[in-house]
Amino acid sequence: MTIMQATELTHAAMLGLGVYRPERVVTNEEICETLDSTDEWIQSRSGIRTRRFAGAEESLIGMATAAAERALAVSGVSADQLGCVIVATSTHPEHTPASAPQVATALGSTAAAFDVSAGCAGFCHALNPASAMVRSGAESHVPVIGVEQLSRFMDPTDRGTAFIFADGAGAVVVGPSGATGIGPTAWGSDGSQSGVITQTPSCLGAHTETPVVQMEGTAVFRWAPFAMAEVAHSALRAAGVAVDDLDAFIPHQANLRITQTLSRNIKLPESVAVATDIVDSGNTSAASVPLAMEAMLRKGEARVGDVALLIAFGAGLSYAGRVVALPPIE
């Protein structure tokens, strides 16, 4: 007996990008009504001016679905073409069931669906299996959605997190293409630093309180700009792309100062446009890279087809980077 398998590899690319930004814009002044901080400190230490928090009518599933519907519309792909739906999130309220089957159903699909938990690096992780499925011919179209509702899991009085984290969703449809649009992944993890970004108290055992995210921000700050420069060079080498060939650099929007230091450490030329969506959107964890991609394309800082380096890092610690061709937006 012979087991059938697809043998010819195709190219995979992001065919379209859609986002959902919650209605409510929250200023630093509003954050400082509860947090012992100032607008000046927040802007100078993180770059953040505003962020968005989901309202009562804006659920995690709803935001993910809205972003994916827009990505499908831009891609010209219908729900019945989907082979798999992947959602990257750390703020789906339940461990089980995962959020992705509910998102797939809301999209009108019965495709396989699962969540990826890799903190702020979740979207960049999920692009890897999606691209591999499409390249192998196992599935033709796979939406990858990064979504977070961090405002539900924050202590508004915690000086280390309350001004940073925010809500939103971004989605791409990965599908077959005439040319490579998603380069090889440079990724890894460091579980010895698992205590740096945590959720506590545990939602297991006797705890009944809502868990909140806690972070040793300075430890991340010392690690990311240097470790991620190595990852950037690995991703560029694997894709056969020189740093001078890049049009855009779209790192996880953790902190504007991390982005600036990382850009210097990678030795990015001035010609490369750098994503700064953190200023308007805060740190939306797994949603930050697709949201930042959309902001650059919408503002004309980057164009469809541009060659961009994506890098994301966060809880785990987990990290992933790759070179991509930027997808179209609405």
Contact between 183 and ligand UT7 by CB under 6 A: the answer reads no
Q: Indicate if 255 belongs to the active site.
A: no
Contact between 314 and ligand UT7 by CB under 6 A: the answer reads yes
Given the residues 28, 84, 120, 141, the one annotated as active site: 120
- Identify the residue among 49, 98, 105, 221 touching ligand UT7 (CB under 6 A): 221
Q: Indicate if 120 belongs to the active site.
A: yes
Q: Indicate if 252 belongs to the active site.
A: yes
First to last CA, the chain: 48
Least Å distance, CB 162 to ligand UT7, is 7
State which of positions 115-154 bind ligand UT7 (CB under 6 A).
Answer: 120
Q: How many residues does the chain have?
A: 330
Residue of closest CB approach to ligand UT7: 217
- Separation of alpha carbons 131 and 184, rounded Å: 9
- Identify the residue among 10, 37, 117, 193 touching ligand UT7 (CB under 6 A): 37
Residues 6+ apart with CB under 8 A from 228: 251, 262, 311, 313, 319, 321
What the block records as the tokens of 298 is 């919408």
CA dihedral 65, 324, 90, 157 (to 10 degrees): -110
Query: Strands (DSSP E) along 150-220, which ranges?
Result: 167-177, 186-189, 197-200, 212-215
For ligand UT7, give the closer residue by CB, 36 or 94.
36
For ligand UT7, give the closer residue by CB, 104 or 295.
295
Measured from the Cβ of residue 4, the count of other Cβ atoms closer than 10 Å reads 5
Return the bridge partners of 192, or none: none
Is the Cβ–Cβ distance between 33 and 89 less than 8 Å?
Answer: no
State which of positions 262-291 bind ligand UT7 (CB under 6 A).
Answer: 283, 285
For ligand UT7, give the closer residue by CB, 68 or 278.
278
Least Å distance, CB 163 to ligand UT7, is 6
Instruction: Show which residues are catalytic.
Output: 120, 252, 283
**Which residues in this chain contact ligand UT7 in the complex, by CB under 6 A?**
37, 41, 45-46, 120, 159-160, 163, 197, 215, 217-218, 220-221, 224, 254-255, 258, 283, 285, 314
